[in-house]
Amino acid sequence: MIDHTTLIESRRSPGPAPSTDLVTLSGDTAVTTTLVMAENTDNEHASVIKLVRTYLTDLEEFGLVRFEIRPRSDGQHGGGDTEYAELNEQQSTLLLTYMRNSDTVRFFKKRLVRAFFDMRQRLIKPQSLSPAEMLLQMAQLNLEHERRLAATEQQQAVQANELHRIDAKLEQVAESNVWTSRPSNAEGITHIVKRLGAKYGLSAGIIHEVMRQAPFTIKPAGMVRNEHESAKGATYAVYWVADVNKVFARFVSECKRVSATQCSHPYVKGRFKLNRELEGQMPFAS
């Protein structure tokens, strides 16, 4: 004897199924609905939704069953909003096993399996762009390129202004504070390069860059007149040793080692060498 509580009788002979999309996306999950299943198996929707509620525990072994409300369409007379359920691939396949296996149901099973497969392929394979979409993408890329270029030019202008300001200050110092001999607690750039090169293993280029790079810019202590006859009265800037030590100690602490021999710093372009003895004073780049 057939248990009619677990089977739904199909009322019409199988034929071409409706053209409604069988499978859609709900978020990132492929689903069908009880409305689609009722229409394509020649069953009343009330019977299909009742079957879902009867076997809800079984269906939810494969995920939460979502119940939604479809408002009554404009111009519809009588009846109210329609409650329906969204079912994923496993849930809809299981529900079909609880229906009478008529020709109509078997035909729908094949179409539904194919529809879920096609949806998976669509999600895996990138969709080809139409000419209009390609033009839009190119326009967006060009706009982003122009934005970055403008930002780079603005940054370069700021840096140029900063260097100009530093040069102006050097000139002011040169005019207002010229010593005939270098103070014992100050040093010129030549001595700084030699001393810090030996201490940290930094190249002369990196030391010069740090000295002139905001926010590390070191204010000169003053200007010293070169007394050598060949210098013809030229002056050179000297810096307080304590200021130099403080700035480079901070710089080294902010460096990150990116390889066995190379380090990097947010304010310095490219990589550079730094003594391995300083390993404990800097983090390793992740």
Strand partners, 240: 186
Nearest to 272 by CA among 191, 207, 199, 193: 207
Describe the strand order of the beta sheet including 178-179 as a list of residue ranges: 178-179, 222-225, 235-240, 186-188
The pLDDT of residue 174 is: 54
- As to burial, measured by CB atoms within 10 angstroms (0-12 exposed, 13-18 middle, 19+ buried), residue 160 is exposed
In the predicted model, what is the mean pLDDT of residues 13-36?
74
- What are the extents of the domains in the chain? 24-124, 128-176, 177-286
Helix axes 189-200, 204-212, angle to 10 degrees: 120
Please identify which residue in the block is written with the tokens 């479809």: 70
The pLDDT of residue 126 is: 62
Question: How many CA atoms, within 13 angstroms, populate the side-chain half-sphere of residue 9?
Answer: 5
Burial 255-266 (b: 16+ CB within 10 A, else e): bebeeeeebbbe
Q: Which of 36-50, 129-143, 192-206 has the lowest mean pLDDT?
A: 129-143
Question: pLDDT confidence of 2, banded at 50, 70, 90?
Answer: very low
The pLDDT of residue 279 is: 55
Q: Give residue-wise pLDDT tens across range 173-221.
A: 555 668 888 889 999 999 999 999 999 889 998 888 888 876 778 888 8
**pLDDT reading at 238 higher than 60:** yes
Q: Check residue 259 and report its DSSP letter.
A: S
Nearest to 216 by CA among 254, 190, 248, 170: 248
The pLDDT of residue 72 is: 67
The pLDDT of residue 37 is: 94
The pLDDT of residue 62 is: 93
Strand partners, 224: 179, 236
Q: pTM, whole model, 2 decimals?
A: 0.39
Q: Give residue-wise pLDDT tens across range 47-106.
A: 999 999 999 999 999 999 999 988 866 565 555 678 999 999 999 999 999 998 889 999
Q: State what percent of residues in the chain have pLDDT above 90.
A: 33
Within 8 A by CB and 6+ apart from 185, the residues are 240, 241, 242
Question: pLDDT confidence of 229, banded at 50, 70, 90?
Answer: low
**pLDDT reading at 18 higher than 50:** no
